[in-house]
Structure 1
Amino acid sequence: MLNETACPSVSFDFTGKFLLPVYILVFIIGLVANGWGLKSLLHNWNKLGNVNVFVLNLGLTDVLYLLTLPFLMVYYSMKNKWIFGEAFCKITRFCFNVNLYGSIGFLTCISVYRYLAIVHPMRAMGRITLTHSVMISVIVWLLVSVQSLPDMFFTKTYGNNTEKCYDTTDNDYVEDYLKYTLGWTLTGFCISLLITLGCYGHVIVVLCSTNTIDKVLKQRSLKLMFILILLFSVCYIPYHVFRNLNLWSRVLTKQGICYKWYNRVYIARQISRVLVCLNSALNPLVYLHARENICAQLRRLIQQARQAVISTVQALVQNYKGFFSQAGWPLYTS
């Protein structure tokens, strides 16, 4: 513990240098991947299953967030100078939160549906309709919006300086924001995490102890479980842990209590923001295992591209041989 009345300041230069290239990369990859995934789902709308309603909404939450990234790119490229006004700053942060907790909500719905399809197939078959999935999706959107709405009432600027756009709030309100975000973490993330772990824990036991389940279905379910657990572990857990730790360190700093780990927590917090941002680029992996024909389409596209490249190379070689033969030049082969 430091015996200083004022805590040493944290270097904020790290944020812009670290987040800007990541946002650019996530924007490009996420837009292409989600655009391809949504196009594939809409193209097969008549074949849309119950789970894929949630996959469609998952893609919509990602696109909503990705469209706000160009404004954050400008913000960090101008060294944390926000030029779009406080109202739009709050809208941008609101879209991020809706994407984050919407993704968690729809991934949880996918987990529950997979659990019912594998563990209780006879009970779930015919009872869960497309209408049920749509209604549940509407409820998820409403819950996520209600949870994220209070965040817009916290100030996102520093005093009268509207050129800042905090993702949390100013130090004057940090104590209240910490209480809010702890409740937000519990209701928006921890409950979903426990439901997902409970569902997939039971599914793994059933898949490993039953030989009557189709091997293809078993492999696809295990892959989807691995992807969802990976998304929760890599993208969401560090973000919530270090967001609350960073807010707590700011509360302690305001009280004049200083620890050496504040700076490390701040850096870890920024890294966790990158990891949670990656969920918009990684979520399309769910598309690959939520539908059977998407994998086949992807393999077909890769095969067609490979055949096109081979045909082009062969044509170039033939043209090369024809050109030099007409010119009377000898061709050497080895």
Structure 2
Amino acid sequence: MGQNIRDCEKTQIAVLPPIFGIEFIVALVGNLFALWLLFTREKRNWHTGVVLSCNLAISDLLYVLTLPLLTVYYSLEKHWVFGEAACKIERFLFTCNLYGSIFFIMAISVNRCVALTCPFFTRSRVEPVHAKLVSVIIWIIVGVISCPVLKFASVFKNSNNRNNTACVSIHNIHENAHFIYKIFLAVFGCLIPFLVTFTSYFVVIRVAWKNVSITALEKRKIAILVTSVVVLYALSFVPYHVFQIYHFYLKGQNQSICWVYNIYQVFKGMASLSMCIHPVLYTALFDSIRVACCGKSPEDNNSIEMRK
């Protein structure tokens, strides 16, 4: 049974402003700190892992700068005061960051898998220039698949909400095309990278735990990395896509179910939460960041860093 969308928006308006506000502070500080350490502590060791992680941090920062706009938008009960161009750019950057994060995490996982399973090939054949080339390809792919957002996103006067100007991902005239586009993003931008990432980490865990030459410190770093990725997918990427598609399907049927809409909005905030978790990924990848945050472990003097 359909429900009044205005009633459904009450939870969204109450929940998203504090979520986006906290995420802005944590993600900005965390990613700037990570970038600073990458450029200072790791500047002489720009192996493939550093290159990919640097691009991941840049992707986060491009979007984190739009979070204050969203905080204001939802604090004003969904009244967009920044103009249509800013609305389109915000939605475009959100899409770029979301799928840029997913693809760079996939690249990092494949990179780690290859490094563990084919260490001699990695040391002799894989160079930072290859990671830079992969990064360029990812940015091109993400930019291309995000471009339709610039067409779909728009602002309009919402007569059901005290004539507030809303910034929306889609207006009614493009609903069918937009739904197909969202399915494409869910499959190409989430499901396929999801399968590649978890296949890679399954291999990583299997090889690492059987390899007696890998130290306990290195195994802990792998465990942190895998756990972080599992948390990212379990709490943000997968449920966000599932409930997003279900919501837009119901919308195409002229239905509104509050619990679906509310869960979709919560997971939209959780998808942005990935920007706060990415610095945890860096702690698993680089000794310089882990030491800066946690201090130097006695095992550091005896361990050999697994380069990607």
Q: Does 1:277 align with 2:272?
A: yes
Contact 1:85 1:163 in 2 (8 A): no
Q: Does 1:293 align with 2:283?
A: no
The residue that corresponds to 1:164 in the other structure is 166
Higher relative contact order (CA 8 A, sep 6+): 2
The residue that corresponds to 1:317 in the other structure is none
Counting matched residue pairs gives 289
Aligned match for 1:33, one of 2, 15, 30: 30
Contact 2:155 2:167 in 1 (8 A): yes
For residues 145 and 132 of structure 2, what CA distance do their matches in structure 1 show?
20
User: What SS does the aligned partner of 2:155 have?
Assistant: coil
User: What SS does the aligned partner of 2:154 have?
Assistant: coil
Q: How does 1:41-80 map to 2 (within 5 A)?
A: 41-44=38-41, 45-80=43-78
Q: How does 1:88-107 map to 2 (within 5 A)?
A: 88-107=86-105
The residue that corresponds to 2:253 in the other structure is 252
Contact 2:73 2:79 in 1 (8 A): yes
Q: CA deviation at 1:227?
A: 1.1
Contact 2:102 2:193 in 1 (8 A): yes
Amino acid aligned to 1:117: A
The residue that corresponds to 2:219 in the other structure is 218
User: What SS does the aligned partner of 1:283 have?
Assistant: helix
Q: Does 1:17 align with 2:14?
A: yes
For residues 13 and 157 of structure 1, what CA distance do their matches in structure 2 show?
20
For residues 265 and 296 of structure 1, what CA distance do their matches in structure 2 show?
43
Amino acid aligned to 1:199: S
Q: CA deviation at 1:159?
A: 6.5
Q: CA deviation at 1:66?
A: 0.8
Q: CA deviation at 1:123?
A: 2.1
User: What SS does the aligned partner of 1:165 have?
Assistant: strand
User: What SS does the aligned partner of 2:166 have?
Assistant: coil
The residue that corresponds to 2:186 in the other structure is 185
The verdict on how the C-alpha distance between 1:162 and 1:180 changes in structure 2, with shifts beyond 3 A counting, is farther
User: What SS does the aligned partner of 1:48 have?
Assistant: coil
The residue that corresponds to 1:124 in the other structure is 122
Bigger radius of gyration: 1
Q: CA deviation at 1:189?
A: 1.0
For residues 58 and 214 of structure 2, what CA distance do their matches in structure 1 show?
33
Q: Summarize deviations over 1:130-178 as a string: whole Å, max 9, x none.
A: 1111111111111000000011111423379892101x20133222111
Q: CA deviation at 1:80?
A: 0.8
User: What SS does the aligned partner of 1:211 have?
Assistant: coil
Q: TM-score, normalised by structure 1?
A: 0.82
Q: Structure 1, unaligned stretches of length 5 or more?
A: 302-334
For residues 47 and 212 of structure 1, what CA distance do their matches in structure 2 show?
23
Contact 1:154 1:173 in 2 (8 A): yes
**Greater CA drift, 75-84 or 156-165:** 156-165
The residue that corresponds to 1:313 in the other structure is none
Superposed CA RMSD = 1.8
Contact 2:153 2:170 in 1 (8 A): yes
Amino acid aligned to 1:152: L
Contact 2:3 2:258 in 1 (8 A): no
**Greater CA drift, 143-152 or 231-240:** 231-240
For residues 294 and 155 of structure 1, what CA distance do their matches in structure 2 show?
38
For residues 201 and 11 of structure 2, what CA distance do their matches in structure 1 show?
38
Amino acid aligned to 1:204: I
Contact 1:171 1:250 in 2 (8 A): no
The verdict on how the C-alpha distance between 1:53 and 1:88 changes in structure 2, with shifts beyond 3 A counting, is same
Q: TM-score, normalised by structure 2?
A: 0.89
For residues 154 and 273 of structure 1, what CA distance do their matches in structure 2 show?
18
The residue that corresponds to 1:267 in the other structure is 262
For residues 70 and 175 of structure 1, what CA distance do their matches in structure 2 show?
31
Q: Summarize deviations over 1:112-134 as a string: whole Å, max 9, x none.
A: 11101111112222211011111
Contact 2:157 2:166 in 1 (8 A): no
